[in-house]
Amino acid sequence: MKLTNKIIEEVIGELIGEDAIDVALFIKSKSKVSEFVVAKRMKKDIHHARSLLYKLFENNILIFERKKDRQKGWYITYWDFYPDNIMHIYKRLQNEKLEKLKDRLSKEEASGYYMCKNACTRMDFDKSTEFNFKCPECGEIMNPMDNKRTIEFINEKIDDLEKDIGQEN
């Protein structure tokens, strides 16, 4: 599987947040970018830009080099995109999602769920008995819920993720 901007956006969005995506994509197309250039180009406060840059660094998405400014004596940090780790992180995130979906599927298949007619809340059998099968939100009777569609949806998501993961290998 080839590294695409979509994969980069997904990884960074999940790890750090939407705010960091533009920063990473900007640096991806450049070489040795000063943090001041990043802040100016992204129209961000220098402190906020540095925070995002260091978060990207902590997740092995960016690397940096510090050089001392000869005139002012300050250190300036220059950033580069480090694409090698993105695919590893992407695979790890996909596998984590797959495990969570499989856990959820086993819970859906193992337990009966109950919901009131107003769909205020959804509870498993044990939790429903604690509330005497009455909705804690509206007080209506909790009725058994058919979760076949939920199970089908989770199975579809699992299949999609397994195909995606299978294509990577």
Domains of the chain: 5-82 (1.10.10.10), 94-168 (no CATH)
Query: What pLDDT does 131 receive?
Result: 93
Instruction: Tell me what pLDDT residue 75 has.
Output: 87
pLDDT for res 167: 60
Q: What is the pLDDT of residue 168?
A: 55
> What's the confidence (pLDDT) of residue 58?
94
- List residues bridging with 80 in a β-sheet: 63
Give the pLDDT confidence score for residue 29 in this predicted structure: 87
- pLDDT beneath 70: ranges in the chain: 1, 167-169
Give the pTM.
Answer: 0.71
Tell me, what amino acid is at 85?
A: N
